[in-house]
Amino acid sequence: MPNPETTDIWDMYDSSLPKRGMSGDKYIVDTKTDFRFQLGLGEKVPWIEYLKNNEFRVKRFTGTLPGGQSYIDISDSPPEQHPSEKGAKLSVYCDPSGFMEIEACGGCPDLLIPGTELSVNITTEYVVNV
């Protein structure tokens, strides 16, 4: 991804600082890990991308939210814990099993009432033999 502003990248669980940083003009996240972590990425981050050994690339973009909606806390927290005010537009998750995902997120209005429609356009590009 492009270099995020400090306010547009945060850890949802344990610190991932040793697993991420700049390389050239891209901000890199090493998803090979011996601990679980998830990065929340704010609305100024335009896209995230996964590249595997120049074999294939997956790139995700999230469209503009409809008026009156904002990004929300997507962390897996216990029900008694109130959601964070910080909303994720994009996310990177990985754990020691080798599972990883790059997520694009939608939004929600302050008050969710029956009949409210939530939608956002998400684009995922796949490129083989990069």
129 band by pLDDT with thresholds 50, 70 and 90: confident
Domain boundaries, the chain: 6-128
Distance CA 36, CA 99 (A): 10
Which pLDDT tens digit goes with each residue over 42-68? 999 999 999 988 899 999 999 999 999
Q: Is the pTM of this model over 0.85?
A: yes
